[in-house]
Amino acid sequence: MRKAFEFGIIGCGDIATDLARVIGMTPGVRISSCADPDETRLSAFARRFAVKAAYSDSRELMEKERPGALFVGVPHHLHYPLVMRALDLGHNVLCEKPLAITMDRACELCAAARRKNLRLGVNYQYRYDRNAHTLIMMCREGVLGAISHCRCNMPWHRGPDYFASGAWRARKSEAGGGALLTQASHWIDIALEAMASPPVAAMGMTARRRFTDIEVEDLGMGTVECENGALLNVTGAMTVTPHQRVTIEVYGERGSAIYTGPDDFPPASKLRLLGVKKKRYAMPFPGLFSLQRNLIGFSRWVRDGTHYDNEAERSLRVLATVLALYRSAESGRRESIE
Ligand SMILES: NC(=O)c1ccc[n+]([C@@H]2O[C@H](COP(=O)([O-])OP(=O)(O)OC[C@H]3O[C@@H](n4cnc5c(N)ncnc54)[C@H](O)[C@@H]3O)[C@@H](O)[C@H]2O)c1
């Protein structure tokens, strides 16, 4: 039997805890080390997930440990320096989204991974949601016909504890953005994949409607134009009461697809087709839900070189789109997507 694929965890906060729970229920993967400068979080994480090698300095972990890959789950502005250091030291990395908060830095990380022949993935796990995968495959195969437009709506709720438990999330210099970048980018990524034509221009607006003492937006809206003229309308909100599920509506010349995202309850996503028949596709990786499939997909990509959808380079498109929406919100003009 093969040795388990080991992850070193950099940052023992909310997402690392979710990921560690998933690792705990996934055969063939384990956590071998962890790091966090917050001693309370570090020791609670190490105790809960029985990790012996716990470091308060992530540089020390990177220098001493040789796991199959590092998982980087830290505030957004730290992705670039920590991932670059990890690559310099020869580690494969699964980084949380966004890869960086500027395009230059995200491109630099992709180039560094390529140069060093290392694997760099970004945790856009919903690409491995069963119905999101079906939607993407059907659009890719042209089942809906030419897409005229798509509406991507994220009507989410966040309470005051969201910013209180992570002050970085409210700061522009650390988070890089709010609802559009931090949460809605998951769904914009899937919508862009369904559009099947590269995004070329964006017009956006942002607002603070519920949280007045934050620097990032809690509501962002905009329209993205694709190369073939199709339009994508996006809304990313953390202002909605009660919390509701994401919808992605894709309208094609032969039929329409209405995707409803997963949530804590009910957990499963849904996909309704109008005018065309739903097709069935085997999931590329086993697993009960998207985070688990993404983890398995990433570890197989590192070990066996099998195809993996969340290679870092593939996350550049959604980052460029969201940053163009922000530029447009500031300039009041239509901005091109580079
Ligand atoms: N994929 C998803 O569904 C999903 C969900 C939630 C968050 N995220 C992403 O995960 C990342 C972290 O978000 P979070 O909500 O877990 O934040 P968090 O604030 O809960 O955790 C971040 C942790 O990083 C630690 N940290 C800070 N500097 C560090 C360093 N130099 N070395 C090691 N650790 C350091 C902090 O002490 C903290 O424990 C962000 O990129 C966020 O967008 C992704």
Query: How would you label 178-195 residue by residue, b for 16+ Cβ within 10 Å and e otherwise?
Result: bbbbbbbbbbbbbbbbbb
Ligand 1 contacts CB of residue 125 (under 6 A): yes
CA atoms within a 13 Å half-sphere pointing along the CA-CB vector of 288? 6
C-alpha of residue 32 to centroid of ligand 1, in Å: 18
Ligand 1, atom 18, lies closest to the CA of: 13
Give the integer Cα–Cα distance in Å for 221 and 254.
Answer: 28
Residues of the chain below pLDDT 50: none
List 221's β-bridge partners, or say none: 205, 235
Give the integer Cα–Cα distance in Å for 61 and 132.
Answer: 36
Give the integer Cα–Cα distance in Å for 138 and 270.
Answer: 15
Give the integer Cα–Cα distance in Å for 237 and 242.
Answer: 12
C-alpha of residue 2 to centroid of ligand 1, in Å: 30
Letter for the amino acid at 260?
T
Ligand 1 contacts CB of residue 72 (under 6 A): no
Each domain of the chain, given as residue ranges in start order, spans: 5-123, 126-275+311-336
Letter for the amino acid at 201?
A
> Which among 338, 337, 309, 336 is positioned nearest to 190, based on CA atoms?
309
| Cβ proximity of 217 and 239 under 8 Å | no
Query: Which residues make Cβ contacts (< 8 Å) with residue 304, sequence separation at least 6?
Result: none
DSSP type of residue 243: -
Substitution candidate for ligand 1 out of 96, 174, 264 with most atoms within 8 A of CB: 96
pLDDT in tens, 98-149: 999 999 999 999 999 999 999 999 999 999 999 999 999 999 999 999 999 9
Work out the end-to-end distance of the chain between its first and last CA atoms, rounded to an integer number of angstroms: 46
Q: Which ligand 1 atom sits nearest the alpha carbon of residue 35?
A: 33
Predicted local distance difference test score (pLDDT) of residue 266: 62
Ligand 1 contacts CB of residue 38 (under 6 A): yes
For domain 5-123, which architecture applies?
3-Layer(aba) Sandwich (3.40)
If one counts every other C-beta atom within 10 angstroms of the C-beta of residue 85, the result is: 16
Q: Which ligand 1 atom sits nearest the alpha carbon of residue 13?
A: 21
> Which among 320, 300, 258, 315 is positioned nearest to 127, based on CA atoms?
315
Give the integer Cα–Cα distance in Å for 222 and 51.
Answer: 44
List 14's β-bridge partners, or say none: none
Q: Which ligand 1 atom sits nearest the alpha carbon of residue 125?
A: 1
Q: Which ligand 1 atom sits nearest the alpha carbon of residue 124?
A: 1
Predicted local distance difference test score (pLDDT) of residue 265: 63
Query: How would you label 266-299 residue by residue, b for 16+ Cβ within 10 Å and e otherwise?
Result: eeebebebeeeeeeeeeebbebebbbbbbbbbbb
The DSSP H or E segment spanning 40 is helix 39-48
Ligand 1 contacts CB of residue 13 (under 6 A): yes
User: Residue for token digits 């197989």?
Assistant: 300
pLDDT in tens, 252-274: 999 999 999 998 766 799 999 99
Predicted local distance difference test score (pLDDT) of residue 113: 98
C-alpha of residue 67 to centroid of ligand 1, in Å: 20
Give the integer Cα–Cα distance in Å for 153 and 34.
Answer: 36
Cα 1 to Cα 5, 286, 302, distances in angstroms: 12, 18, 18
Q: What is the CATH number of domain 126-275+311-336?
A: 3.30.360.10
C-alpha of residue 205 to centroid of ligand 1, in Å: 27
C-alpha of residue 202 to centroid of ligand 1, in Å: 29
What's the full length of the chain, in residues? 338
If one counts every other C-beta atom within 10 angstroms of the C-beta of residue 255, the result is: 16
